[in-house]
Amino acid sequence: MQHLIFDAHCIALEHPEGLCHLVGLADSEFDTHNYVMLQRDWESDAHDRALGMDSYHAEYGGAQRAGGYGGLVRCVLTPQAMQLVFAPSGPQAAGGVGSMDIRYQLDAARYAALHQALALIFAGTDCLQVRAA
């Protein structure tokens, strides 16, 4: 499995239509080469639970592309970067990326907003690990 590293110059922390919790990180706002998108619906219903869609959705794109519900071993958040480690049997494994580091530069308020959004996305899981550095 490949380890991907990229610098996020474009970070979205809200769904443009207010449909779900969303964190999107991309190397560029336009002509994107690499991105990761993490999201979770505001609420799940019985239908979602029956289909296994009552969790977070993780997707990445670039030279490889894959996504699906669940599939993360961990998401390590620091003020300078986020590391994602995908489960070898998870839906993201189809793209050949086992892990990725996404580096960014955020002020304290924006980092706090990122932390809060990820806490909502990963609620009820043990994926999110927050570290000082």
**Residue 123 Cα distances to 54, 55, 66, 126, angstroms:** 11, 9, 22, 8
Average pLDDT over residues 32-41: 91
Average pLDDT of every residue of the chain: 88
Task: Answer whether residue 64 shows pLDDT above 80.
Answer: no
Long-range pairs for 105-114 at CB < 8 Å and ≥24 separation?
Answer: 105/80, 106/11, 106/79, 110/11, 110/13, 111/79, 113/13, 114/11, 114/13, 114/23, 114/77
State how far the Cα of 57 lies from the Cα of 52, in Å rounded to an integer. 11
Q: Specify the pLDDT at position 66.
A: 87
Stretch 14-32: mean pLDDT: 87
44 band by pLDDT with thresholds 50, 70 and 90:
low
Q: How far is CA 67 from CA 64, 106, 130, in A?
A: 10, 26, 23
Whether 77 and 55 have beta carbons less than 8 Å apart is answered as no
Statement: residue 92 has pLDDT above 70: yes
